[in-house]
Structure 1
Amino acid sequence: MKIIYILVAAVLTLFASCDKYLELQPKDTLVVNGMPEVKMMMSSYLSSMTVKENFQISYNGRKISWPYNRDLMAGFLFYSDDADMMTVLSNSYSKKYEPEYFENKDWKGFSTANRAWYQLYSHIGYLTSVITEAERFKGEAEYATVIGEALVLRAYFALKLQQYFAPLDQENLGIPLNLDLNEFRGIPRRNQKDVYRIIIGDLHKALTLGGYKSNWNVFHNPNIIHHILAQVHMYKSATIAKEESDWQEVEKYSNEITLRYPLEATVAEINATMKPATIGYFKENPFNFLTIAWSIPPRNNTSSLWGVGSTRMMPSPELLSLYAPSDIRKEAFFDAKNNFNKYVFKILSVEDYQVLFRVADVHLMQIEAEWMNGKKAEAKQRLVAFIKNRSSVDAAINDQDFLEILRKERRKELVAEIDMRWIDMKRNRMSIKRDAAGDKGIGRETYMLEANDYRYTMPIPEASELNYNKIEQNPGW
């Protein structure tokens, strides 16, 4: 949000060795002479998200890496109802994230919001600089390849900020979104419809540009763009910015994927979807369009949030009870003691990783879209098939229970994936009740999050942005 300075010191291309660097002057004195330099800016950015600190680029004094590291993941895990909040700190690995636990056990913390705000806006600022420069060289080769990558990433991160910081029902309280590098102070909050217009516009432009190169592009991939567009319209349908066509759009973009990509059918296929062997970007898995693995441990520690061996974190008993004994996800996502085993920790190789665009998510979005579009028979048939695929159970589903059963399937399928459960809780206006430690870790307390609770919208960082840009704080904070 503030004045923009860029320093790039990273590998020359996404796949080059690490012995060549390019140093750019601050943005206000930088001269970019053509698309090769813009491509360098973009490839350096993509490299920076997975490599160690010495090779990362900086933007406004902040190192740029993949924003959803364990620090941020711990915050979203403790916002959700996925983990057993009474035992989570008994794991010596997750105990490293004790501050997030005590801030977020009653959903009143600020540190997760601060991290999300600063990290995502740093990315948006850098990507906007790439887009601005690329537009100067519209007629040059690889314009579509480079700008498409920046547009998709900017749209994805803007969606995340909108989901976190915009209340569902207040039109004037969208996120601040600055697309002009010459303006950096007094950036107001946009209305929500305007924010979604920008996000959807960026994605549509990237889709129609073409230029996708499988050996270079990461996010600029038609499958990923369709996936994000489905996510955008699904979430938007729950907000003040909703339109009658939203669920039709979800169905349209889901169909682009489900017609060509089936669900996993075995534990082995799910494991192959979830667990990379080395750092980098893993693309075009038939069950997942992108996994990012990196070697950048947060806080300079190598402790996995999820734990290893016998010290793994436990899921909430309620969540675990939802899985049928025959459900293949029980073996894929949990160990023999029912501890989390969805992610494998590999010290000195893969510090952490995330699966971002699983085909299973799209199948579930398509089912919900068909239901919302009045295609109830088709939706029921697909949901029955989904459940049978996962647990070999022939489910009987009536109209009254359909959405509740579907939401449980989303919860079981997408457990502990980025912010998925938190976002579903918010858009579905769920009331959540859970037990967690009392103050200073003493005793057990019951905490409630009501359906339309103000805490479903994160607080905007007060010390900086409210004063600097005079932004209106979210209600309740």
Structure 2
Amino acid sequence: MKKLFLFYILIGGVLLQGCKEFLDLPPKNQRAVTTLSDLKSVLAGYLDAFAKSNTQPIVGPYPIVTEDQNMMFEAYSDNFDFKANMGQYVNPQNNNKNEKFYANNLLFNNIETVDAIWNKYYETIGFLNALIDQSDELVIADPNELLRVKGEMLVHRAYYVFKLQQYFAPMDDESMGIPLYLHSGKEVIGVEMKRKKSSEVYTVIIEDLKKSLEYFHSVGAKEGYSRFFNERFIQNLLAQVYWFKAETASKAPDDYQSAIQYAKGAIAGVDERIPSTLAAFQSVQQNLDTQYPAIYMQGRNYGGIAGFFGSPWDYMGFAPANLIVASDLLALFDNNDFRKEAYFVNNTLSSAWPDGAAYGAKYVRVHLFTPEEAYLILAEAYFRNNEEGEALNTLNKFKGFRGATVKNNLTGENLLNEIINERRKEFFTDTDKRWIDLKRYKIGNISRNLRFFDKNFDVKVSANDYHYALPIPLAELQENPDIVPNEGWNPIIF
């Protein structure tokens, strides 16, 4: 049996740049994986980060959506009145972030964070490729346990591939999917790392997830070890993939029917766990409800998202504080909706959000595979599948969880807009979700006329323009002659 030497662990991906290096290198260096026990031990060094809030994974980002990533996608969206908040951002009392931080984010110029997403996500895919390859070569291994471990890795790989596709591939150009290679490079050297067709990328994602779901139905999860290898979570991610794909150039006629199938599986039996009071809602945000059916991760940096969510010391006069939110967002909430009290104080962001305390520590809080997301995917998928009655019933049932006023007699575009608005309310400041919605629904025109370093900058973002396919990192373009860049991006030098 061949030995697989994991080059990631000792000299690792942190020294490498570009997807070509992460996906097309022969294994080398010191650490050999020859048994299932070896494989589980190495994988545990990655998985522990999904169970413990103080463990840095051996590969990949922590949390899976980092503080910088969360703030960048919020800055690239439309939930805040950024111009009105400039006096709080560029302020001598702001000891959280400097002027360049705001300039790069608010002017769609955050190259460093975009590069980190590309490199860290591809690094993790390469790591998983190596382990999956080796799992196929393990002859002496408990077959059930091997399926559990392989199923776990397939879901994680599918997640990273899906997010890269969402971030870097245009919606309407089938030829401009992300580069992808699914092996460790030990058999074939010199693979051309071209952009794949988007439909090919989605095929990989869906096949990995369906295979993992098949494994789950065969052997089930292992308590205490499995993280993403969970029937509900796999179906949730499948629903997300079909939902997103259905509005791209890679769409297929049955995408929304598949989204309905998997969204229903993801929410089966969870209604009693979905918060229906303000206290329960905040309890979930703080990860105090141990039965809440989602993966939770929290950043380790006190004040890590203070730059856009308010200083932990705002009550002492430190900036930013009293951050003004977009008026059109506020107008979406009725007075019965307890999310309004959770998020806001009048027209400003509450100091308690997202921590649920009077003066929040401003940790980034990430929930993956939530039932709320599956519910709203289900409502839209019913609508797109010409089942408007089911769509409205599902939407109103969801509104009932949040104390929001139900809607009657909604049809056509009015119903779709209500679903989109419900997503905006539910996923306020949640990871990348509003930016993804702006991209997918091709909505919104963002105009930024801001002043930094004594100079005026004017940036306009139109619906479905180049801003919704993030720039391929310069290092990738320099090292990978086969890749085609996302056009339109011209970095600003301050």
Short-chain TM bin = 0.7 to 0.9
The answer to whether the Cα contact below 8 Å between 1:171 and 1:240 also exists between their aligned partners in 2 is: yes
Task: In structure 1, list runs of 5 or more residues that go unmatched.
Answer: 10-25
Code of the aligned partner of 1:328: F
**Alignment correspondent of 1:209:** 215
- For 1:326 and 1:345, the matched residues in 2 are separated by 19
Structure 2 distance, partners of 1:205, 1:283, is 28
Q: Does 1:386 align with 2:392?
A: no
Alignment of 1:99-178 (within 5 A): 99-137=100-138, 140-141=141-142, 142-178=145-181
Question: For the residues of structure 2 that align with 1:160 and 1:392, how far apart are their CA atoms?
Answer: 31
Is the 8 Å Cα contact of residues 76 and 418 (structure 1) preserved in structure 2? yes
State percent identity of aligned pairs: 28
- Say whether 1:187 aligns with 2:232: no
Query: Is the Cα contact below 8 Å between 2:236 and 2:262 reproduced in 1?
Result: yes
Name 2:17's counterpart in structure 1.
Answer: none
> 1:270 aligned to 281, 286, 302, which one?
281
Contact kept in structure 2, 1:276 and 1:293, CA below 8 Å: no
Distance of aligned partners of 1:428 and 1:137 in 2 relative to their CA distance in 1, 3 Å threshold: same
Distance 1:345 1:7 in 2: 38
Equivalent of residue 7 in structure 1, options 1, 6, 9: 9
Deviations 1:429-471 (A, max 9, x none): 113234552343767x775321221111111002x11121111
Q: CA deviation at 1:102?
A: 1.6
TM-score, with normalisation over the residues of structure 2?
0.81
Is 1:401 the counterpart of 2:414? The answer is yes
Alpha-carbon distance change, 313 to 45 in structure 1, aligned in 2, over 3 angstroms: farther
Instruction: Say whether 1:229 aligns with 2:238.
Output: yes
Residues 223-372 of structure 1 mapped to structure 2, 5 A cutoff: 223-262=232-271, 263-276=274-287, 284-285=291-292, 288-295=293-300, 306-307=309-310, 308=312, 310=315, 311=321, 313-335=323-345, 338-340=348-350, 341-344=352-355, 351-372=363-384
Structure 2 portions without partners, runs of 5+: 12-26, 316-320, 490-494
Distance in 1 of aligned mates of 2:28 and 2:214: 29
1:300-334: CA deviation from partner (whole Å, max 9, x where unpaired): x7967523254364432321221112211112233
3-state DSSP of counterpart to 2:296: strand
Amino acid of the residue matched to residue 74 of structure 1? M
Displacement after TM superposition at 1:88 (Å): 4.4
CA 1:412–1:446 in structure 2 vs 1: closer, same or farther (change >3 Å)?
Answer: farther
The 3 A distance-change label for structure 1 pair 376 and 442 is: same
Letter in 2 for 1:322: L
Q: TM-score, normalised by structure 1?
A: 0.84
Residue equivalent to 1:22? none
Question: Once the 2 structures are TM-superposed, how far is the Cα of residue 134 of structure 1 from its aligned partner?
Answer: 1.7
- The root-mean-square deviation of aligned C-alpha atoms, in Å, is 3.1
Tell whether the 8 Å contact from 1:186 to 1:468 is kept in structure 2 after alignment: no
Alpha-carbon separation, structure 2, partners of 1:450 and 1:33: 52
Partner Cα distance (1:377, 1:104) in 2: 41
Q: Displacement of 1:189 after TM fit?
A: 1.2
- Helix, strand or coil: the match of 1:292? strand
Offset, 1:261: 1.5
Select the structure with the greater relative contact order (CA < 8 A; seq sep ≥ 6).
2
